[in-house]
A and B are shown apart, each in its own frame.
Chain A
């Protein structure tokens, strides 16, 4: 898992099977000190995040496992809303 900040929403009405209900958000991956750790990416939102929110993400196959149905072409999913990072 890794931290990220939601920076926007993504609308893509033409999409493959399995992604029908998926809500896409644009996320900037961050480290513990809120420094960018790579390019912004699109993640499926599983916890009703909104732009500006600090979130917890899971990547690769585990992202697909966080979705319903499970085996969908997803490699990033928002699995938690972060209240606090205490370092």
Chain B
């Protein structure tokens, strides 16, 4: 999983049906010191409680997403599966 910070939300009314009712959040990958590292991207919030500024766990593997969502053909690869309280390093 990636450690990411939630930067905000994406609103897209016109989209494939599979995305209906799912929250689209813009996430910024972080390094172990929680500094931004790499390109931001868009993930679906499966915790339904991740918000702007939160550090979250993002799973980036489509097979796992499809199993978790019980949607065998979902064209989704990034899913927020946890909201992080603390990261202790070293």
Contact = CB atoms under 8 A, between A and B. Distances in A.
B7 A56 contact: no
Mostly, the A contact residues are mixed
A84 B42 contact: no
A62 B77 contact: yes
Contact of A56 (B9, B12, B39, B52): B12
A66 interface: yes
A46 interface: yes
B16 A1 contact: no
B26 interface: yes
Interface of A: 1-3, 31-33, 37-38, 46-47, 56, 58-63, 65-66, 70, 77, 79-87
